[in-house]
């Protein structure tokens, strides 16, 4: 009809001008009819020698030529107005275009908010892992899920987190090695199933990154050898069944400290406690203190687990975005280590033994925590 021709032409012409004027970002979708027509009042009149109508009430014009003619006329005149170089007309056109862009962005933001709410509501109404401590925010990009090693660390982490955007999911001990297990075994495993369910985006080929409920997944494990093993098992799960999360740069490893040094009479502006993250760093820090005459207590605390830190220490060193260090797990790491995952985590014993034996000579022995 003439009305559909008008609406289609306005929407198409507005999009052409917006793209030409670069008022829409490259990544943004075209505006839709509702954006372009928001707040618009128009009277479209056509005069035809032999009009044809649809239906018995004859309220809808059915002459096919009317659609095409109206679309062409509207496109020509509207484009002339929107691209006018006259000062007043240019300002008016700019205001119209900016209003349309604002309407489009408001619509998209409202849709994203609604989708985020729907994802959270759907998960909240399902059978959630009992120990999930979810966050309050429905802002997916801002929210973070900490996968925490052990129930003992969960209590401290609850006090250390910002519950507005940080969620906590504890896991018990070493999760299933999915490199050796079948898909059905993986799905039956309580810890693996809980992680997949809470993230809410499925697994394997059906994984939908847009459905993920959290913008960041943070692996929070102890800083010792057992913690490193658990982190590898978790990374194996993500690498095999939730790989798009890693490809998008949304999986991180937290970096908790291994030692705490308490200074004696720290200078003004100097922190009372100094944290180190490896035995090598501890040795070099102590040598630096001795060289500078910095006094510290002989009893240096070595954290055997996250649960040994109080909430303030855990927040300051590991969870608070203002102070913490996170290591992003990137796809380059996984691509380079694909065969290593198969060797070290798979079923074949002989290739694993050969790899370990041949690699032993290249290992920095000072990094062995034993």
In this structure, the answer to whether residues 329 and 208 fall within a common structural domain is yes
In this structure, the answer to whether residues 149 and 109 fall within a common structural domain is no
Task: Give the structural domain span for 269.
Answer: 259-302
255-309 confidence digits (pLDDT tens): 988 899 999 888 777 788 899 988 889 999 999 989 988 889 988 988 878 888 8
Q: What is the pLDDT of residue 265?
A: 83
Cβ atoms of 46 and 24 within 8 Å: the answer is no
CA–CA gap between residue 133 and residue 169 (Å, rounded): 6
In this structure, the answer to whether residues 153 and 234 fall within a common structural domain is yes
Which contiguous run of DSSP H or E holds residue 327?
A: strand 326-328
Is residue 195 pLDDT above 70, yes or no? yes
Q: What is the pLDDT of residue 67?
A: 83
Q: What is the pLDDT of residue 4?
A: 86
In this structure, the answer to whether residues 203 and 332 fall within a common structural domain is yes
Query: Residue 58: helix, strand or coil by DSSP?
Result: coil
Q: What is the band of 370 on the pLDDT scale with cuts at 50, 70, 90?
A: very low
Q: What is the pLDDT of residue 32?
A: 92
Proportion of the chain above pLDDT 70, given as a percent: 85
Last residue of one domain, picked from the residues 121, 146, 171: 121
For the residues of 33-60, what is the DSSP string, one character each? HHHHHTT---------SS--EESSS--E
Q: What is the band of 341 on the pLDDT scale with cuts at 50, 70, 90?
A: low
Residue 239 counted as domain residue: yes
DSSP class of residue 296 equals B
Mean pLDDT calculated for residue range 35-41? 91
Q: What is the pTM of this model?
A: 0.60
In this structure, the answer to whether residues 105 and 251 fall within a common structural domain is no
Residue 73 counted as domain residue: yes
Which contiguous run of DSSP H or E holds residue 254?
A: strand 251-254
In this structure, the answer to whether residues 206 and 163 fall within a common structural domain is yes
In this structure, the answer to whether residues 195 and 332 fall within a common structural domain is yes
Number of domains in the chain: 3
In this structure, the answer to whether residues 190 and 264 fall within a common structural domain is no
Q: What is the CATH number of the domain that holds 114?
A: 3.30.230.10
124-138 confidence digits (pLDDT tens): 545 567 789 999 888
Mean pLDDT calculated for residue range 356-363? 63
Is residue 223 pLDDT above 70, yes or no? yes
Which contiguous run of DSSP H or E holds residue 147?
A: strand 144-149
Last residue of one domain, picked from the residues 100, 121, 142: 121
Q: What is the band of 224 on the pLDDT scale with cuts at 50, 70, 90?
A: confident
Structure tokens at 370: 């034993």
CA–CA gap between residue 309 and residue 301 (Å, rounded): 10
Q: Is the dihedral of CA 255, 211, 108, 75 positive or negative?
A: positive
Mean pLDDT calculated for residue range 30-57? 85
Q: What is the band of 369 on the pLDDT scale with cuts at 50, 70, 90?
A: very low
Residue 342 counted as domain residue: no
Last residue of one domain, picked from the residues 121, 148, 177: 121
In this structure, the answer to whether residues 89 and 159 fall within a common structural domain is no
Question: Which is higher by pLDDT, 359 or 319?
Answer: 319
Q: What is the band of 122 on the pLDDT scale with cuts at 50, 70, 90?
A: low
Cβ atoms of 139 and 165 within 8 Å: the answer is yes
CA–CA gap between residue 172 and residue 125 (Å, rounded): 24
Mean pLDDT calculated for residue range 206-215? 92
Question: Which is higher by pLDDT, 279 or 339?
Answer: 279
CA–CA gap between residue 236 and residue 180 (Å, rounded): 10
Q: What is the pLDDT of residue 46?
A: 86
Residue 33 counted as domain residue: yes
Q: What is the band of 14 on the pLDDT scale with cuts at 50, 70, 90?
A: very high
CA–CA gap between residue 11 and residue 33 (Å, rounded): 6
Residue 317 counted as domain residue: no
In this structure, the answer to whether residues 112 and 136 fall within a common structural domain is no
In this structure, the answer to whether residues 93 and 212 fall within a common structural domain is no
Proportion of the chain above pLDDT 90, given as a percent: 34
Residue 310 counted as domain residue: no
Q: What is the CATH number of the domain that holds 161?
A: 3.40.50.670
For the residues of 189-214, what is the DSSP string, one character each? SHHHHHHHHHHTS-SGGG--GGG-S-
Burial of 184 (0-12, 13-18, 19+ CB in 10 A): exposed
Residue 344 counted as domain residue: no
In this structure, the answer to whether residues 188 and 332 fall within a common structural domain is yes
Mean pLDDT calculated for residue range 178-194? 84
Is residue 242 pLDDT above 70, yes or no? yes
Cβ atoms of 213 and 140 within 8 Å: the answer is yes
Query: Mean pLDDT over all residues of the chain?
Result: 84
Residue 346 counted as domain residue: no
Q: What is the pLDDT of residue 123?
A: 52
């Amino acid at each position: 009809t003439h009305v559909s021709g008008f609406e289609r032409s306005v929407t198409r012409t507005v999009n052409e001008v917006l793209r030409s004027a670069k008022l829409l970002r490259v990544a943004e979708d075209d505006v839709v009819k509702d954006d372009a027509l928001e707040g618009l009042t128009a009277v479209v009149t056509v005069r035809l020698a032999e009009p044809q109508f649809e239906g018995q009430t004859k309220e809808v014009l059915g002459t096919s030529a009317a659609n095409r003619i109206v679309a062409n006329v509207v496109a020509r005149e509207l484009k002339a107005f929107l691209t006018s170089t006259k000062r007043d007309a240019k300002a008016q056109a700019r205001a119209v275009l900016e209003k349309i862009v604002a309407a489009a962005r408001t619509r998209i933001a409202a849709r994203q908010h609604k989708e985020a709410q729907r994802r959270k509501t759907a998960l909240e109404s399902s059978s959630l892992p009992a120990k999930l401590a979810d966050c309050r925010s429905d802002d997916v990009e801002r929210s973070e899920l900490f996968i925490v090693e052990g129930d003992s660390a969960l209590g401290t982490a609850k006090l250390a987190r910002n519950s507005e955007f940080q969620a906590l999911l504890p896991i018990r001990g070493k999760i299933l090695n999915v490199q050796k297990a079948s898909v059905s075994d993986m799905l039956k495993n309580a810890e693996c199933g809980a992680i997949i369910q809470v993230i809410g985006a499925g697994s394997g080929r059906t994984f939908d990154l847009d459905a993920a409920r959290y913008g960041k997944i943070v692996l929070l494990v102890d800083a010792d050898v057992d913690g490193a093993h658990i982190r590898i098992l978790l990374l194996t799960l993500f690498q095999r069944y939730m790989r798009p999360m890693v490809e998008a740069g949304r999986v991180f490893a937290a970096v908790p400290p291994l030692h705490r040094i308490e200074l004696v009479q720290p200078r003004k502006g100097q922190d009372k406690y100094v944290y180190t993250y490896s035995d090598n760093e501890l040795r070099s820090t102590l040598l630096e203190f001795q060289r500078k005459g910095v006094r510290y207590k002989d009893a240096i605390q070595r954290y055997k687990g996250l649960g040994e830190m109080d909430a303030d220490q855990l927040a300051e060193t590991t969870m608070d975005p203002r102070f913490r260090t996170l290591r992003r797990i990137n796809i380059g790491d996984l691509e380079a280590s694909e065969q290593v995952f198969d060797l070290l985590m798979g079923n074949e014993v002989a290739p694993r033994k050969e790899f370990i034996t041949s690699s032993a000579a290249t290992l920095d022995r000072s990094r062995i925590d034993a």
